[in-house]
Chain A
Amino acid sequence: DTAVSQTPKYLVTQMGNDKSIKCEQNLGHDTMYWYKQDSKKFLKIMFSYNNKELIINETVPNRFSPKSPDKAHLNLHINSLELGDSAVYFCASSLGRGAQFFGPGTRLTVL
């Protein structure tokens, strides 16, 4: 059974395009996150939602917009993609605070 799933697994696109990454969790968790992992493997939080409400919004360009239609879903839309957006994006979820369960990641390559 898939706990946290993300689609797509790979995303290759041109600069300037708009793209979305979807995330779903079936763990019954109330908190979901988006992380960006760069080429040096550093994992940095971008956003966090608790019960569909935004609770963490790190210094992320306005081109990134998360949307949580319900507790089980947290999607990430990116406008006007730039070369520096290339990275692996991870969705995660948790029950309250602390330990998080991660999705398999979406490798975004901007050409």
Chain B
Amino acid sequence: TQLLEQSPQFLSIQEGENLTVYCNSSSVFSSLQWYRQEPGEGPVLLVTVVTGGEVKKLKRLTFQFGDARKDSSLHITAAQPGDTGLYLCAGELLTNAGKSTFGDGTTLTVKP
């Protein structure tokens, strides 16, 4: 059983569409990160959220941390082919500081 479950696992959409990726857990996290990984490269940090209910925006990407700090979502508006990649959420448990646990990832394909 994954500590952090992401959904959907795979997502294929047309350019211009909107999408939301979810990262859920039954555990409480002190912080949560979202990363994007492209083929042949390492994950690249997109954002860190630390406060329950926090919303952060990065151009067309909107990240939200749940009020109870157990879940998070990533919303992309008007997706572009350049958004294609593997999206990973990672959290640091409140009870196990210093160790990040990764979700199983969402593979996004945006078709032109």
Measuring CB to CB, which residues of chain A are less than 8 angstroms from any residue of chain B? 4, 31, 40-45, 48, 50, 55-56, 90, 92, 97-105
Contacts and interface: CB of A to CB of B under 8 A. Distances in A.
B107 A41 contact: yes
B31 A43 contact: no
A40 B106 CA distance: 11
B42 A4 contact: yes
B88 A102 contact: no
A44 B99 contact: no
B99 A48 contact: yes
B98 A97 contact: yes
B63 interface: no
Contacts of B99: 45, 48, 56
Interface string B31-48: 101010100111111001
B71 interface: no
A104 B99 CA distance: 21
A102 B92 contact: no
A104 B48 contact: no
Given A97-B92, A97-B97, A102 B102 contact: no
Contact of A103 (B31, B42, B107): B42
A48 B99 CA distance: 8
Given A41-B107, A42-B102, A98 B31 contact: yes
Interface in B52-91: 86, 88, 90
B15 interface: no
Given A44-B102, A56-B99, A97-B97, A102 B43 contact: yes
Contacts of B86: 41
Nearest to B104: A42
Contacts of B105: 41-43
Contact of B48 (A4, A42, A99): A99
Contacts of A92: 42
Tell me which of A44, A98, A103 has the highest count of chain B C-beta atoms within 10 A of its own C-beta.
A98
Given A97-B31, A99-B33, A43 B98 contact: no
Contacts of B101: 45
B34 to A, nearest CB: 10
